[in-house]
Chains A and B, each alone.
Chain A
C-alpha cells in the first residue's frame, strides 16, 4: 500500500469521530467540515514525514479546531475569541484531548452526526447523499456516479440538504436515553436506506452502486461498536452482511437478475455469511425481537441452505408472520406468500395475496409473484395476463427481461399441451 492510500484509509476511518467532535465545538456543519478538511491537508503534509499520530482522530480534531479558530481570529479581529485557554498551550494537547475522548462522549458525537443526516424533512435520496458526503466522506463525484446523476446536480442536492439541516436546530446537549434510542432508530433506518440504494440496483448501475452496500456495512459496524448491546443494530448489520454476501451471484454476465433459487451458491461470500450468522446468533440471545433481526434471521436461513431445496421454508413462513406483526405491510405479506407456496402450495399462497390486489395494483413484484403462482397452478392464461402487467410495471430492463423469461417458459410449456389446458 502506498503512503497516500494508507493515509487516506486513516483519514476515512477517523472522519466520523473527528467531524462529529468538531461539529460539537462549532455547532455548524460547514465550519466543522472545513476544519476537518484543513486538518486533512496538514495530515497529508505532516504524517508522511513524522509518521502517523497514535490517535489520528484526536490529532485531526485538535488541528482542525485550531485551524478553524485561527480562521475566525483572522476574519473577525475585533470579536472576542471562544475558549481561549483551550488553544493557548498545545504541547500536550493531543494527549489530553485523547483522554477526554472517552467512549461515551464520542459515541454521541458520531450519533449526532449521523442523526442530522436523517432529518425527517429530507427526502430519502437527500438523507443518503448527505450521509455519504458528511459521514463517509465520499466525494461529490463518487456519490454522483452512484446515483447516476451529474456532479453539478449532486452538488446542488447536497447543498440544499445541508441548508435544510442548518435550519433544523438539532440539539447539541447530550441526549437522554429515550432521545438516544429514537436517534439510533432513525440512523439505523438511514443506513438501511443506503444499503438498499446499493442492493436494489440493477443493470449498469450494479457496479456503480456496490460501494453503497459496502459503505452501509461499514456504518452499521461503526454504529454497533458504539452500541454493542443493541440487538436491532446487530440485526441491521447482519441483514446487510447476509444480503451483500450474495452480491457476486445475484447478476449474470449480461447484468440480468439471477433469482435466489438459481444462484451459484459457491459464489456467496462465506466470510460475510459467517459474520452475519454470528451477529444474528448474538442478537437472538437478547430476546428483544425487531424488524431487522427478523429479516436477518430470514436471510440467515437462506444463507445456511447449501442447495435451494435445503431451505427451511416453514421457518421462513413463521418469521415472515412475525415480521407482519412487527411491521405490517402488503409487501411483507407478498414475501410470506412465496414461503407459503413452498410449504403449502401455490393455491394457499395465491389465496393469501388476493386481498393485496388493491394496495399493490402498481407493484411490479405483485404481478410477477402472482403470475408465478398461477403458472404453478396451470392457469396459464391468467398467468400470462399477470406477467404482461408485470412487464408494464417493470422499473428496470432487467426486471422486464426476467418476466419475459417466465413468459417464454410459459409458451414452451403450454404450447404442446394446449388441447388439455384448463381441464
Chain B
C-alpha cells in the first residue's frame, strides 16, 4: 500500500536554521531516503518553497485567487514523501526515522487512494 507522509513544521522555525543546520538535516534525511530507495519503496519526494510563495484558488463562484497557503495554521505543509509500506506500523517506522533526522513538527501519514506517477517531469 502506498502512503503519503505529509511533513508539517513551523516554517518560521525551519527558516531560522542556519545554512549548515539545514544542510545537516537534509543530509540525515537523505540517508533515510536512500535506504527506502534501495528497498524499492520510495516514490516521489518534494520539499516545497515557503508558503509565502503559495497562492490558493478558492472554488467559490466565481473562483477566487488568494495569496498565501490554504490554511492559516501554526505548522505548515512543507513537503511530502510517497512510500510503499505493508502496514501503518511500517509507515510509522519510516516517519520515526525521518523524525529522528528532522526535529520538531509533525508527520501526517495518509494512505494513498489513487496514484498516477506521471513521468513527464523529472
Query: Which A residues are closer than 8 A to B by beta carbons?
Result: 1, 5-6, 9-10, 12-14, 52, 54-56, 103, 214, 218, 221-222, 224-225, 228-229, 234, 237, 271, 274-275, 278-279, 282, 285
Q: Is B44 an interface residue (CB 8 A)?
A: no
B24, B49, B104: the one within 8 Å of A278 (CB): B49
Query: Which B residues are closer than 8 A to A by beta carbons?
Result: 10, 12-13, 15-19, 21, 24-25, 49-53, 55, 65-68, 72, 74, 103-104
Asked if B49 and A274 make an inter-chain contact with CB atoms under 8 angstroms apart, the answer reads yes
In this complex, which of B51, B53, B68 has the most chain A Cβ atoms within 10 angstroms of its Cβ?
Answer: B53
Asked if B74 and A9 make an inter-chain contact with CB atoms under 8 angstroms apart, the answer reads no
Q: In the complex, how many angstroms separate the beta carbon of B13 from the nearest chain A beta carbon?
A: 4
Q: In the complex, how many angstroms separate the beta carbon of A55 from the nearest chain B beta carbon?
A: 6
Interface of B is mostly: mixed
Total A-B pairs, Cβ < 8 A: 63
Asked if B15 and A13 make an inter-chain contact with CB atoms under 8 angstroms apart, the answer reads yes
User: Quick one: given A229-B67, A282-B67, are A222 and B74 in contact (CB under 8 Å)?
Assistant: no
Asked if B68 and A228 make an inter-chain contact with CB atoms under 8 angstroms apart, the answer reads yes
User: Can you list 7 A-B contacts (CB < 8 A)?
Assistant: A9-B21, A13-B13, A103-B72, A234-B67, A237-B52, A279-B52, A282-B53
A1 to B15, CA, bound (A): 15
In the complex, the 4 A-B pairs of residues with the closest C-beta atoms, listed nearest first: A228-B68, A13-B12, A13-B16, A12-B16
A residues within 8 A CB of B50? 221, 275
A262 to B86, CA, bound (A): 54
A228 to B70, CA, bound (A): 12
A5, A103, A274: the one within 8 Å of B21 (CB): A5
What 8 new A-B contacts, CB under 8 Å, besides A9-B13, A12-B16, A14-B12? A6-B103, A9-B17, A221-B50, A222-B12, A225-B52, A228-B67, A279-B52, A282-B53
A residues within 8 A CB of B24? 1
A residues within 8 A CB of B104? 6, 10, 52
Asked if A275 and B51 make an inter-chain contact with CB atoms under 8 angstroms apart, the answer reads no
Asked if B16 and A278 make an inter-chain contact with CB atoms under 8 angstroms apart, the answer reads no
B residues within 8 A CB of A55? 74
B residues within 8 A CB of A5? 21
A residues within 8 A CB of B13? 9-10, 13, 56
User: Quick one: given A1-B24, A6-B104, are A13 and B53 in contact (CB under 8 Å)?
Assistant: no
Q: In the complex, how many angstroms separate the beta carbon of B97 from the nearest chain A beta carbon?
A: 16
